[in-house]
Structure 1
Amino acid sequence: MADMRLIVAGAGGRMGRALTRVISETPGAVLAGALEAPGSELLGRDAGVLAGLPENGVKLSGDLWSLSGHADGIVDFTVPAATIANVAIAAERGLVHIIGTTGLSSSDDAVIKSVTRQAIVVKSGNMSLGVNLLAALVKRVAQSLDPSFDIEILEMHHRAKIDAPSGTALMLGEAAAAGRGVDLGTHSARGRDGITGARRPGDIGFASLRGGTVTGDHSVIFAGAMERITLSHHAEDRMMFAQGAIKAALWARQQKPGLYSMADVLGLGDF
């Protein structure tokens, strides 16, 4: 089979540059396009040079329609508005769409789901093997423990992160809720300040820390009357997210239209 031709969305950003490097190192994948926001000062720059590689001749462009005419997939770690703008074009062009964007709303998710009757989409709040294994463990532990155990999710990221809780924290919350057989939207506590009263039984709590250059730390705490269980993951380099995303793209190329997660990519769906 020919190499999979991939477009990197947000190619000028930190994740975009990491994706460009990983594609250059991955057999079976080739960089076919580099997308940036219209009006960006990086338009026209060489994607390889921006990623710390030799010049590769792929220039950053703001026109996904043109880029997508010669591609098989798009890897998208941008912002919600950009991702939703990319969804329709990717679906119309028949591109595999790998979505690692966080901060998506329920209406954004509905738009993404609406195209999966004819398009292949892999969407995850975190593309790492370790985090997806953690989510599977969280689901199993939540299912196994007595409901009297309180569940709290603690996450920390670098000072520049703009959304909270992180997409990974929400993914872990969804895993915990699935294990408990409840809806996260009606069983979550997103922030506590002042006289809040006692903790509401059954809530899944979230706490977000921001500072420094932390790539991503996540812990899920199951707190019982006289004991605690803590499951944790510590990310050390964003390259692991890029590696997971490219693995997902190569896997998705062989799938039928639908909405998939990294649990599907890694065979953890029935864990």
Structure 2
Amino acid sequence: MASTSAGAARHQVAVAGATGRMGQMLIEAIRSSGDCQLAGAMDLASSPAIGNDAAAFLGVASGVPVVADVRAGLARAKVLIDFTRPEGTMTHLAACRELGVNAVIGTTGFSADQKTQIAEIARDIAIVMAPNMSVGVNVTLKLLDMAARALATGYDIEIIEAHHRHKVDAPSGTALKMGEVIAEALGRDLKSCAVYAREGVTGERDPSTIGFSTIRGGDIVGDHTVLFAGTGERIEITHKSASRATYAQGSLRAVRFLAGKRSGLFDMFDVLGLN
């Protein structure tokens, strides 16, 4: 289904990183939606796609060129979807703040200082920020909260995640979010109880810790398993992504959620009504 006309589309959306794998998936999802229209497409100045039509990879014309200038890319947009790198996202958010454009952020790997800056920016524009936009992942997070509260004693908790060879941060933002949800449910601070590596003689496992294991290889889109290992039984809660389309569809739900909102920092639990 082609995208709606400019007059009919309620949500004018710009995409950052428009020529990347996620950017192209977002553009395809926007064009296939009944209520969103591609209003801007941005990428690095070094991209060979600069100046080309943003939907050329689909064999169609959107009338939206890929541009390097952030403000030009946001000129007709009401909301930006950004799955890039932390430094780029911060630059994009500064322009969004100036232009009054809301944002959906799927970027991961932000520092604590950058997260503080984003919260400050959200005083002026509305932002949905989540390490994973998949509806299924966020339902999984809710299940983990319930499981952690019920299995608070007598169970060791390990988080195992796998992604493609190109992913640059580890553990994944989703794995860290899972750890944060579990730690909060248990009344712990993830910073003080997380274990990210084991090697050599480590001694017995501290039952208050939450362990992380990272796998990188091939074209794995994203697999996450949380293991609650007790005496005589194990409970495993797993989510596996087979396509980035799940992230794109979740992002569009976030775009719709932001309609009419002027400010505030939200997450996918807000979007899905899970809070």
Shorter-chain TM band: over 0.9
For residues 176-229 of structure 1, give each alpha carbon's deviation from its aligned partner in whole angstroms, at most 9, with x where no partner exists. 111111111111011112222222221111101011111111000111122111
Using the aligned pairs only, state the percent identity: 40
Moved runs in structure 1, 4+ residues, more than 6 A?
A: none
Query: What is the SS of the residue equivalent to 2:260?
Result: coil
User: Would you say 1:208 and 2:214 are equivalent positions?
Assistant: yes
Instruction: Describe how 1:6-25 pairs up with structure 2 within 5 A.
Output: 6-25=13-32
Q: Please give the secondary structure, in 1, of the residue aligned with 2:235.
A: strand
Q: Does 1:181 align with 2:195?
A: no
- Deviation of residue 40 (structure 1)? 2.0
2:56 is aligned, of 14, 26, 49, to 49
Residue 219 of structure 1 aligns to a residue whose secondary structure is strand
Deviation at 1:256, TM superposition (A): 4.5
Distance 2:260 2:270 in 1: 13
Contact (CA 8 Å) 2:162, 2:214: kept in 1 or not? yes
Residue identity opposite 1:142 in structure 2: A
Alignment-mate amino acid for residue 209 of structure 2: D
Match of 1:246 among 233, 252, 264: 252
Per the alignment, residue 170 of structure 2 pairs with 164
Determine helix, strand or coil for the equivalent of 2:55: helix
> Counterpart of 2:5?
none
Q: Distance in 2 between matches of 1:57 and 1:69?
A: 14
The TM-score with structure 2 as length reference comes to: 0.94
SS in 2 for 1:91: helix
**8 Å CA contact 2:126, 2:261 repeated in 1:** yes
Aligned to 1:33: 40
Task: Answer whether contact 2:12 2:77 (CA < 8 A) is retained.
Answer: yes
Give the RMSD, CA atoms, in angstroms: 1.3
2:257 pairs with 1:266: no
Amino acid of the structure 2 residue aligned with 1:160: H
Please tell me the residue identity of whatever aligns with 2:61: E
| Alpha-carbon distance between aligned partners in 2 of 1:228 and 1:12, rounded to the nearest angstrom | 42
Please identify, of 14-23 and 105-114, the stretch whose mean Cα deviation from structure 2 is larger: 105-114
Tell me what 2:12 maps to: 5
5+ residue gaps, structure 2: 1-7
SS of residue in 2 equivalent to 1:88: helix
* Greater shift in the superposed pair: 95-104 or 35-44: 35-44
- Using the size of structure 1 for normalisation, the TM-score is 0.95
Q: Which residue of 2 aligns with 1:139?
A: 145
Determine the C-alpha separation between the residues in 2 that align with 1:147 and 1:83.
40
Query: Residues of 2 paired with 1:188 and 1:241: CA distance?
Result: 27
Amino acid across the alignment from 1:19: L
Q: Secondary structure at the match of 1:47?
A: coil
What's the CA shift for 1:266? 0.5
Secondary structure at 2:136 match in 1: helix
2:114 pairs with 108, 112, 118, which one? 108
How far, CA to CA, are the matches of 2:59 and 2:41 in structure 1? 14
Cα 1:25–1:2, aligned 2, differ >3 Å: closer, same or farther?
Answer: closer
- For 2:9 and 2:100, locate their aligned partners in 1 and report how far apart those are by CA, in whole Å: 17
The Cα shift of 1:249 comes to: 0.7
> Counterparts of 1:249 and 1:73 in 2: how far apart (Å)?
7
Identify the match of residue 89 of structure 1 among 78, 91, 95: 95
Q: Is the 8 A contact 2:9 2:34 kept in 1?
A: no
Letter in 2 for 1:21: E
Distance 1:211 1:254 in 2: 41
Paired amino acid for 1:231: I
Deviation at residue 103 of structure 1 after TM alignment: 1.3
Report how many residues are paired.
268
Confirm or deny: 8 A CA contact 2:89 2:107 kept in the other structure: yes
- Does the Cα contact within 8 Å between 1:187 and 1:202 map onto a contact in 2? yes
Equivalence for 1:218: 224
